[in-house]
Structure formats: C-alpha cells, structure tokens
Structure 1
Amino acid sequence: MPWLSIRRRLLFNMCQRIIRNPFLCFNILFLTIIIVILTFRTSNIQQKCSLDQNIAQQQNISYKSSLNKPVIFIGGMPRSGTTLMRAILDSHPLVRCGEETRVIPRVLNMRAAWKKSTLEWNRLMAGGISESMIDSAIRAFVYEILLQHNQYADVLCDKDPFVLKYASYISSIFSNAKFLLLIRDARAVIHSVVTRKVTITGFNLSDYRQNFKVWNKGMETMIDQCTLVGKDKCLHVYYEQLVLQPKKTIENILKFLNLTWVDSVLHHEELVGKKISLSKTEHSSDQVIKPINLEALTKWIGHIPDDIKNEIDTLAPMLKKLGYDTQSDVPTYGVADQLVLSNMNNLKENAEFWDAKAKAYARHLPNDTSLFQNHTNN
C-alpha cells in the first residue's frame, strides 16, 4: 500500500538523521531512560500507596476490633486498696492493668470542666466542635493509652483512683466497660494519708476534720456514679473483705468481670517484677510487693482525735451508710481466712527479706497524687 511505503521511507530517513547526529541520538536515549525511570517510580509509588492503604485499613480494622475488648476501670479514694486490687488482677493471665496512667483522669476532668462551663461549651459548639466529636476523640485517646500501656492484653484495665468520678460518662463511650469501686474505712484512709504524708488536693496533713469532709464528698460522688451505671457494671469492693477473705472476695470479683478463676490471683507477690510491674513513684508499691496481709487493716485504731470521733457521723455520714461501725473504738471487720493467717506468719518469719523488698520499692519522688483542684471540689 502506498501509505505504508511512505511511512517506512520517513522512518528510514529519521533513523539516518539520528545516526548522523550524535547529539540528537544522545538526547533521545536520555529521554528514553528518563521515561523508563519515571514509569518505574510511578509504578512503585502506586504500589507503595496501595500497600500503605492496606496497612492503614488493617490497622483501622485492628483498632476497631480492639474496641470490643472488655475494659476494667479501678477507682476509689486514694489509700483504699486500688493498687492491691490492680496487682491482683494483673496476676490473671488475661488482664493487664499496670501502673497509674495519670493522664486518663486528667483528660476526663478536662472534658467535665468544658461541659460544666456553659460559656466554654458554647464556644466549642460555635467553633464547630460537636459533643460527639469530643466524645469520639476522648474515646480514641483513652483507648490508645490503654492499648499501648497494657501491651494489647485480652482484657484492658486502668487503675487511676479518681477515674470512678466519671463512671457514667465512661460507660456512655465504652459500652463494654466495668468498674470496681474500692471502699475502705475512712478512718484508715485518713490515717494512712496523714502518716505516710500522701499529698492529695483537698486533704490537709494536719486537719482531720477537713479530711473526713473531703473523703465523704469524694465517696458520695463515686457511689452516685456507681449507682448510675448499675450493679451489672459497677461493683463495690470493700478493702477489709479483700484482705480478710481474699479467695471468696476475688471469686466474686472475677465472676462479675466474666473471668475464669486462676490460683495465681491469690499470690500476686510471686509475679512482681515479672508480669506485674510496680512504679517507684506510687506510694503503695512498697506495700503490695508483699502477699495479701492484715498489716494495714487496723493501724488507725487509737490515732483518731477524740473530738473527731465524737463528730464522725456528722463529718462523714457516708461511713455509716456504707456499713461501718462508727461507735466502737475497735470495730470488727470480720475473721481472716487461713491463707491470710499463713501470709502473716510468712511476713513475721521472714521479716528481713520482706523489709528489704519494701525498701527496694520505696517511693523515690515527692509523694504528690494531686490531679486538679476540682477533683475534690466538683
């Protein structure tokens, strides 16, 4: 065909020109190489983008699936046994609580402060920051802390004493959350705060009257929050029963949390330094390295000022409401089981060993458990 012949002639002439012109030949070769490289790089970028998208999708799926994990929140007034409770749960193979995060109650407190201030809340809404947006962000923040802090355990857990002040809100953003509210005789709590010099916002190391009022207000808030979320989600755990009858008490706790029984929960001290890590900035670490015992149960007896004892029902009416004997100078909490009696013998017979361990975990930083002023004022 004539047009085919003409095309071949033109192509032949072009090739001759290229051969006769080295500069043109070099340019064409260079352009060809550039095109090949760009094509290769474009292909790699597309593959990388596709891979990144797949990884992001997988991470998103993994994150969303983790949202269905059970979550336990342990709280209560400081010095009420929250550290012991988390150490016991940490000895369960499916659970990981770890040390106090301190950031979780802070972010919850920040959200509560926004909500409490009509002016601030309206400013947020006017700025296009909706309540659902805030809740979604807080939920993601808390979950990220739990996932990373708890090393992707089967059951996530957080032990921050003041976290129970926000139980109803937490329950609204985590439908699968359960709460353990640690309750302890206010007289023992305040004696521990004063003698161990635990600085908590609102408490005064030399004013028993103020301390009982602060304890009462805090307990009222936490009990109310526990009631709001319901008995199927919030369990009262009395410190006295936890140390007197640990097996029976822990059995009830594990049943409430839908966890199977394992004997290791009765011997958390054997896992300290292994599965259980303790912070030297927390004031209870030097106590929970020991097996469950009665050493701190009645230390407060004989140390509450007489005028305070006479006003106890007025200063802290929650104490009586929670079932504590406020009239006797030496109240009876119950009878210790054989395991605890054996633990007490162990501590006595090996006093030097346990004292040395306690010193190794003694607090190294100033003991300040303050969060924000309105943790105790709200």
Structure 2
Amino acid sequence: MAIFIGGYARTGTTLMQAILCSNPSTFPFTKESIYLYSLVYSYIEGRQLWNLHVDDYFDSLEDYVNFNKNIIAEYIYHIKDRWGWDKEIIQKSPLMTTIFPELSYLMNGIEPAKFIVMLRDPRDTIASMKSIYIRLNKKTTTEELLTEYKKRDEPIMKNKNSFDDHLIFINYEKLILENKKYMQKLRNFTNLSLNNDLSGWTGEEYNHDAYQSSLWGKPISRDSIGSYKKILDNSEVKYIESYKNCMNDFFCMNIFLAD
C-alpha cells in the first residue's frame, strides 16, 4: 500500500509523516517526494498541451497515459527496491496535494493508494508561513497566503468524491487536542498500528531549512496552537476571519479553532 500525505504548507504534513513512519512496517522518515510530484505534474502539463505540443510524440492519448503510468510504476518499484517490498510506502509533500486526483488515477493497477490531506486553522497556518517568509527575507501578504491556502486544495476538493474511502482529511488541532480519537481514526484508515506518543522520533535533518519548525523531532505538542496571536496583527487576523464562513464552506468543515 502507498499512503500519500498532502495539505498546505505548515498544516502538519511533517507531523503526519512522522506518525505514520513511526511504524516499523512503513518506509522510514524521508525527505519530501518532490521528484514524484514533478513526474505527475509533467503528465498533467502534457495532457493540457496535448493538441498543441505533445500528440506528435505518441500514437494516441491512451498511449500517452500508459507511458506515464509505466513511469510512475518504475518510480514505485525503484523506491520499494530501496526501502523494502514488505514496507508500506509513505510519501509526503505539500505540493502533491494539487496533483492527488491525477496521482490516484496513475496509481490504479500499480499499488493500492490512500491519501491524507492535512488542514489547520488558517490563522496559525498563515502566521507560520509569514514567519518563514521573514526568515527567507521575502515579501508576501496575508491576502496572498490565504488565497494560496485555498488554491492548494482546490483540485482535491473538486474531485474528492472520486476517491471513495481512499481519502481522509485530518485537522491538525484535533489530531493534537483529541489525540486518542484521531489516532484511532488514522489506524482505521491506514490499517497501521500507531502509537499516540511520538516521543523520541527523529527525521532526516534539513540543514539551513527555513521551513523546519521548533517542534522538529519532538513529541506531539500543542505549543504552536494559537501562535498567530503572537505573530499577526489585529488587521491581519480580522482579514483572515472575514473569510471564515467561505473557508469552512469550501472544506465542508470548520477549520477554525474556537477561541
């Protein structure tokens, strides 16, 4: 089985990867699967540009699809050769969320696949992203970050019914505050034996990575919940909260933590 983890950056994708990889029957905790994302994105771009640039190189669209399925299969078989055919595949990247529908289609017939999308209170998410931009000495706005949050998950929300029971949304705050309940939810979804306590987990160190949080390698903690209060000013908080109903409707659930 392959389990793919996505969600907007700073929504807890690394925590989810650490939880799943704590089981010895899974792949170890590895760096983000940007290469897989690139493979699937190339497939998507080829379909979008089929008549303009791509059709000359394949006998048919079906030929093109099968060619790309074989590429994905080779990738899956390669990483299973590397980490073990008896291990469950765990792949994570926030970018992958945008290509989950196509990845699900390409994985059909290669390996049973399940998909986890992490959600988090937009106020904390935007605050955390703002901190990263500051560390990177880059400029952004609350408006841009909030738009990107929603845009990142649009493909999965538009196609979520096609996943049947192979897709689950996990709220970061509830995973922490209602740990036992949501860990059981994860066990039921993944069929993995998972411990509630992540004490002592360690992952591949990312040197000079501005995205690495202070909670890296530490047990599950509520320290970052409500951190927006220290980072965002009142006008930024009000702006995000003005989209509360819109965001909740979009995700079909309340993703704002009650104050």
Task: Report TM bin, short chain.
Answer: 0.7 to 0.9
Residue in structure 2 matched with residue 73 of structure 1 by the alignment: 4
The answer on whether the counterparts of 2:201 and 2:218 sit within 8 Å (CA) in structure 1 is no
Residue in structure 1 matched with residue 176 of structure 2 by the alignment: 243
Residue in structure 2 matched with residue 98 of structure 1 by the alignment: 30
Task: Tell me the secondary structure at the aligned position of residue 133 of structure 2.
Answer: coil
Following superposition, the deviation at residue 315 of structure 1 comes to: 5.5
User: Identity over aligned residues, as a percent?
Assistant: 19
Task: Tell me the secondary structure at the aligned position of residue 199 of structure 2.
Answer: helix
**Distance in 2, Cα, partners of 1:86 & 1:112:** 25
Residue in structure 2 matched with residue 192 of structure 1 by the alignment: 128
The answer on whether the counterparts of 1:197 and 1:205 sit within 8 Å (CA) in structure 2 is yes
269 and 280 in structure 1: CA distance in 2 versus 1, 3 angstrom threshold: farther
The answer on whether the counterparts of 1:183 and 1:236 sit within 8 Å (CA) in structure 2 is yes
Residue in structure 1 matched with residue 115 of structure 2 by the alignment: 179
**Distance in 1, Cα, partners of 2:204 & 2:246:** 34
Unaligned residue ranges in structure 2 (runs of 5+): none
**Distance in 1, Cα, partners of 2:45 & 2:155:** 16
Residue in structure 1 matched with residue 219 of structure 2 by the alignment: 291
Task: Tell me the secondary structure at the aligned position of residue 226 of structure 2.
Answer: coil
Residue in structure 2 matched with residue 270 of structure 1 by the alignment: 200
**Distance in 1, Cα, partners of 2:105 & 2:239:** 39
Aligned residues: 250
Which stretches of structure 1, 4 residues or longer, exceed 3 Å deviation after superposition? 126-129, 148-153, 276-282, 302-318, 322-326
From 324, 343, 352, give the equivalent of 2:254.
324
Following superposition, the deviation at residue 320 of structure 1 comes to: 2.3
1:111 aligned onto 2:39: no
**Distance in 2, Cα, partners of 1:285 & 1:91:** 19
Following superposition, the deviation at residue 198 of structure 1 comes to: 7.6
317 and 111 in structure 1: CA distance in 2 versus 1, 3 angstrom threshold: farther
1:206 aligned onto 2:132: no
Following superposition, the deviation at residue 285 of structure 1 comes to: 6.0
**Distance in 2, Cα, partners of 1:150 & 1:183:** 29
Following superposition, the deviation at residue 122 of structure 1 comes to: 2.0
**Distance in 2, Cα, partners of 1:149 & 1:280:** 24
Following superposition, the deviation at residue 126 of structure 1 comes to: 5.6
Unaligned residue ranges in structure 1 (runs of 5+): 1-69, 334-378
AA at the equivalent of 1:324: N
AA at the equivalent of 2:254: Y
RMSD of the alignment, in Å?
2.9
AA at the equivalent of 1:193: M
Higher helix share: 1
Task: Tell me the secondary structure at the aligned position of residue 130 of structure 1.
Answer: helix
Task: Tell me the secondary structure at the aligned position of residue 175 of structure 2.
Answer: helix
**Distance in 2, Cα, partners of 1:256 & 1:120:** 41
Task: Tell me the secondary structure at the aligned position of residue 89 of structure 2.
Answer: strand
1:226 aligned onto 2:152: no
AA at the equivalent of 1:292: I
325 and 71 in structure 1: CA distance in 2 versus 1, 3 angstrom threshold: closer
**Distance in 2, Cα, partners of 1:77 & 1:253:** 19
AA at the equivalent of 1:86: Q
Question: TM-score, normalized by length of structure 1?
Answer: 0.59
Question: TM-score, normalized by length of structure 2?
Answer: 0.83
286 and 314 in structure 1: CA distance in 2 versus 1, 3 angstrom threshold: closer
The answer on whether the counterparts of 1:216 and 1:317 sit within 8 Å (CA) in structure 2 is no
AA at the equivalent of 2:144: Q
Greater relative contact order (Cα < 8 A, sep 6+)? 2
